[in-house]
Structure 1
């Protein structure tokens, strides 16, 4: 079967909901044992229970991990390897958003976004690469970047800065470890319809949710937002042996927006 991940172990950060949850589902369906990381064990376990209920084997394991805490990341990756022997696949999905221009951005906001979107990815890359190198078998890493990594977005100064860093970290890891069997790529989604979007609209545009949603969706040439499962399908490909000749790439998945 194409995209078969049987016998492989995967780590997905921020996998309690949204894109991360769909990625965990896709990797599990393809045969991987998926270690779901989120900020609390309750969040991770709820996702695990939902996936395991649909699989013939208990293919997912829950972990609590704060990606902004280096010791938490190191301990979690050690625990994953104690259960799965190694890490074959790492998906750096955990991230947060921020709205505003450079004038509106504050130091506190920049620090918060940087801690999650940049340091969080760095810590997971650091310990993920170490685990992949330990037995010389390498692995595949996919980072969640953004269309903001590729083009300018209005009112997204702090967020764009962080996602630009994700893109360049991806390329750095790809070139540093290409001879050691580690592939590192990133995907660059446009607007994707997740629970985060619905919560954002409800909080900031009460009574006008549908109107603003349609405006945001129409920003894409395809006239709609992406679906989490569409992003997950692209990530599944990048994790598989079928993508064995792909590294250092940044894949837009944005309904054509970055082509304008």
Structure 2
């Protein structure tokens, strides 16, 4: 009986939002190592320029902007298509968070978090699906969410709500798009030692971060998902470090 083999990513084209640091940046390096070509977006132009300098203009194309803008997501997809002729994968990774009770954060902070985490994902997916339908072969959508989308903590209700929204979105999209050959995968890491975690309430150098996942752990999972044969769908993947309590 024939057995399933891993799918080569050599020459495939990936778009990644929130790519300037953390999980997004680690994913760029991992996927380029696997042979992919990657269009990257984020608000920090200098960080994206560093990635391009490290990996080469032939392998990475940057688009600077805010994922909350639908036009930014269209521009990201267009940059990939203009440079490499197609898009095979969208990694909707951009996200922000903050710890605190329901009354602890100001209106602007909560609005930015909800719009970035949920609407930013919606706009990324819409831009990718338009392109997938304009070309042959389907594609992959990976939504980077969080285990908080299944079990929010006591000090992260609004953040957990945005992640729960991503969980519902990805599950529905999988049922909507699978017949078109578009796989939708939801990746939900537990706490990860990134600037995101530090800026959202943890302290740099905190012993708490020692037990966290590393960005490279999540990037590896994204790579494994894409290397699966096209006949396989993962749908949901939760990640915990061996030291974290579930």
TM-score after normalising by structure 1: 0.84
| Structure 2 unaligned residues grouped into runs of 5+ | none
Q: Secondary structure of the equivalent of 2:191?
A: coil
Identify which range, 39-48 or 5-14, moves more after superposition. 39-48
Residue 25 of structure 1 pairs with residue 12 of structure 2: no
Aligned to 1:162: 162
Residue 214 of structure 1 pairs with residue 207 of structure 2: yes
1 CA distance for matches of 2:115 and 2:64? 17
2:217 to 230, 234, 255: 230
Residue 240 of structure 1 pairs with residue 233 of structure 2: no
What aligned pairs does 1:1-260 form with structure 2 within 5 A after superposition? 2-52=6-56, 58-198=58-198, 210=205, 213-215=206-208, 217=210, 224-242=211-229, 244-247=231-234, 249-255=235-241, 260=246
Give 1:127 shift.
0.8
Identify which range, 34-43 or 138-147, moves more after superposition. 34-43
Q: Secondary structure of the equivalent of 1:242?
A: coil
1 CA distance for matches of 2:103 and 2:197? 24
Paired positions, count: 242
Deviations 1:127-167 (A, max 9, x none): 11111111231111111100101112120011101111111
Give 1:21 shift.
0.7
2 CA distance for matches of 1:38 and 1:216? 24
2 CA distance for matches of 1:244 and 1:63? 32
Q: Secondary structure of the equivalent of 1:37?
A: strand
| Structure 1 unaligned residues grouped into runs of 5+ | 218-223
Give 1:252 shift.
0.9
1 CA distance for matches of 2:77 and 2:138? 15
RMSD: 2.3
CA contact (8 A) 1:190 1:257 kept: no
1 CA distance for matches of 2:16 and 2:184? 14
Q: Which runs of at least 4 in structure 1 moved beyond 3 Å after TM superposition?
A: 195-201, 241-244, 256-260
2 CA distance for matches of 1:245 and 1:2? 11
CA contact (8 A) 1:147 1:258 kept: no
CA contact (8 A) 2:9 2:36 kept: yes
Give 1:257 shift.
8.2
Identify which range, 6-15 or 188-197, moves more after superposition. 188-197
2 CA distance for matches of 1:195 and 1:51? 22
2 CA distance for matches of 1:167 and 1:49? 35
1 CA distance for matches of 2:87 and 2:49? 20
